[in-house]
Amino acid sequence: MIRLLHDGPQTGGRNMAADESLMNSAREGLVTVRFYGWEPGALSFGRNQTAAGKYDAEMAAVRSIDIVRRPTGGRTVYHHRELTYCVTAPAELWGSLREAYCRINQALASGLQSLGAPVVCVSDGVSTPAPRPTARACFSDPLPGEVTAEGRKLVGSAQWRDKGALLQHGSILLINEQRVTEELRMGAGGQGAAARQDADTGAIGLSDLLSRVPPVVKLVKALAAGFETEFDTEVRAGSFSTAETRTSDRLLARYTDPAWTWRR
């Protein structure tokens, strides 16, 4: 059985704390898929990404854009008009990190295909360079196992494995606004326009693929069905436990601490 959580929009700090809080339950054998949104919109950095001196925090504040550092790896993502997913599970349940990555993305692809979105998972045979934790945007480059459409990335994901638990989360773009990742970069100079175009053209949103973006409730239902199909198990609606809520409240201090956000 997979527990399904569907939350309303929250701040970046709240969302990252909530995601990490689910890992203790994963260590005890519980698999969870959580879907949520962001309010306000937020820029997120990968765990080991160099961001200090690369992004304009003052400009982000002027534009009411939150900034947070994820517990997972990967690169910069702008979270706004999207549905975000998070999966937590025992670390070895689905094999290696790569195997888990591909299976989770296949579940997402299956759900999106059921809504008519012409998505595929990038073949492992595609030759692409491994991403480095630079200031470059996550959606600039599709990698093997990721969900794409028309050669562009629709779902950007990242992982973290810690003390017997796996966390994978990512953005399912409803509308492609990834140019914001480059608009908030410092010192882009004359390369700014090209970088913004690169971030935008490397990504694609559901609004580019469907005549109408489905309501979030319908989208969550389809994605949950995709997980049932891929993992041959029931997906059942649930809620955060008292222990998870307490852990999330405690972790919030880290994810709102500038020392964490700008640690590198």
Please state which of the ranges 16-20, 134-138, 157-161, 245-249 shows the lowest mean pLDDT: 134-138
pLDDT, position 126: 45
User: Counting Cβ atoms within 10 Å, is residue 254 exposed (0-12), middle (13-18) or buried (19+)?
Assistant: middle
- Across 139-177, b (16+ Cβ under 10 Å) vs e yields bbbbbbbbbbbeebbbbbbbbbeeeebbbbbbbbbbebb
Active site residues: 138
> CATH: 3.30.930.10, 3.90.600.10, 3.40.50.300, 2.60.40.420. Which one for 2-261?
3.30.930.10
Instruction: Report the percentage of the chain scoring pLDDT > 90.
Output: 86
Residue in this structure with the two tokens 């969900």, named with its chain if needed: 147
Q: pLDDT exceeding 70 applies to what percent of the chain?
A: 90
Output the pTM of the full model.
Answer: 0.92
* Residues 9-53: tens digit of each pLDDT: 999 999 999 999 999 999 999 999 999 999 999 999 999 999 999
Tokens, residue 197: 């175009």
Nearest to 87 by CA among 15, 26, 181, 167: 167
Element (H, E) at 236: strand 235-237
Question: What confidence tier does 139 reach under pLDDT thresholds 50, 70, 90?
Answer: confident
pLDDT, averaged across the chain: 93
**Gyration radius (Cα) of the chain, Å:** 17
Ranges of each domain in the chain? 2-261
Degrees, nearest 5: CA angle 85-157-202: 120
Read off the pLDDT of residues 84-137 as tens digits, 9 standing for 90 and up: 999 999 999 999 999 999 999 999 999 999 999 999 999 854 444 444 555 557
H/E run at residue 88: strand 82-90
- Return the higher-pLDDT residue of 261 and 191: 261
Is residue 174 a contact partner of residue 81, using CB atoms and an 8 Å limit? yes
Better pLDDT: 221 or 143: 221
Give the C-alpha distances (Å, rounded to integers) separating 147 from 23, 184, 206, 257, 260.
24, 26, 12, 32, 30
Q: How far apart are CA 56 and CA 65, in angstroms?
A: 11
Whether residue 186 contacts residue 55, with contact meaning beta carbons closer than 8 Å, is answered with yes
Query: 85: part of which helix (H) or strand (E)?
Result: strand 82-90
How many residues would you count in the chain? 264
One-character DSSP codes across 50-62? --TTTB-HHHHHH
Is it the case that residue 157 has pLDDT exceeding 50?
A: yes
For residue 142, the model assigns a pLDDT of: 82
Residue 194: per-residue pLDDT: 52
More confident residue, 144 or 217: 217
